[in-house]
Amino acid sequence: MLKKLLIFLGILFALFILMNNVIMPLYVKHSDTVITPKVTGMNYIEAKKIIEDAGLEIIQGDIKYDENIQIGQILDQNPPPDAVVKYGRRIYVTISGGEQLSEVPNLKGKSLRDAKFTLEQRGLQLGETVRKNSNEFPEDFVISQIIQPGSKVKKNSKLDLILSDGAIIGELKVPNLVGKTLEEAKKLISESKLKLGKTTYQTNNNVPPGQITDQYPKSDKSANENTAVDIFVARKKVVEIPEVVDEESPDLKQKDKGADKTKDENTKTDKENEKPQIKKDTGPDKEKVDKPSGNRQEKGKDNTGNKTDAKKNKSDTKQDGKTKEVFPK
């Protein structure tokens, strides 16, 4: 019996010790309140130590970029300084990111146009370009970049690129012919162990006639011996002068009109004379026909002058008691 009593008292003593030294301190500690310290203007590491020593927890919140404020500096806190909060409360802080940085994109294998567009989207700019021959990448494609992808750089930073100049063709270099005269270009091509290709003349009033304005292949391209080089030569624009027609004076025009009118009248008269004119006689049975030649032909006769069987007009005349038939002549 005594033994059981001693065991019971021991258990009570242990519970008392547990409540007094563990449970009660934890309860009292979580029920305590603290005043938030001011950490704005400090760097993040220093602010973190002060907040944790006060029994609070620091949480990094937003990042604001400002080139005039040092990176990592506390710009704002929530709850604000001197606020009464519970023990263990979280304090959210806004820190400065310094000057805003951009991540460098991977430009390898992109065309020069696409690379420039990608840089502009990131707030970056295209820097200097160096060209080298490459059998892997076509001409004007990015072989490599100076700043590696994923790096952080300032806004508006310039990135230098190495571009492909096309595959290696030969050991010769194409000379620069732009700005040279045709004779000078021919001489340079011959001295470079190349040959003159197609010559194209283009209208260009901005340069003297006969000057080279473009070429293919471009200058400094690699080439083999006797590679043809096409050139484009400037020529002046031909100005067409409109044909000037002298106008006749009004008097001369009037004379021409009069002459034309007289000519038309003469022609009309000649045509009328060519037509046969028919005149009717007073007699009921006779017709006279006038021809342009002036000869007459009586009706009742054919073209040979013989009489026909046309109807004859008779007139009876009494003379000396006799009747005679008189035929008209």
Is the distance from CB of 112 to CB of 141 less than 8 angstroms? yes
What tokens does 80 get? Answer: 């604000």
DSSP code per residue over 283-325: STT-EEEE-TT--B--TTB-TTS-B-SPPPP-EEEEETTEEEE
CATH architecture classification, 172-235: 2-Layer Sandwich (3.30)
Q: Does position 259 have pLDDT exceeding 70, yes or no? A: no
140, with CB counted inside 10 A (0-12, 13-18, 19+), is middle
Nearest-CA neighbor of 94 among 123, 53, 66? Answer: 66
pLDDT digits (tens, 9 = 90+) for 217-250: 888 887 888 889 999 999 976 555 555 544 544 5
CATH architecture classification, 9-98: 2-Layer Sandwich (3.30)
pLDDT digits (tens, 9 = 90+) for 274-317: 545 444 444 444 444 444 444 444 444 444 444 444 444 444 44
Residues of the chain with CATH 3.30.10.20: 9-98, 102-164, 172-235
d(CA 213, CA 205): 11
Q: Which residue has the tokens 């045509």?
A: 271
Q: Is the pTM of this model over 0.75?
A: no
Helix, strand, coil percentages, rounded to 5, for the chain: 25, 35, 40
| First-to-final CA distance of the chain | 204
Topology of 102-164 in CATH?
A: Trypsin Inhibitor V; Chain A (3.30.10)
What tokens does 281 get? Answer: 């006689």
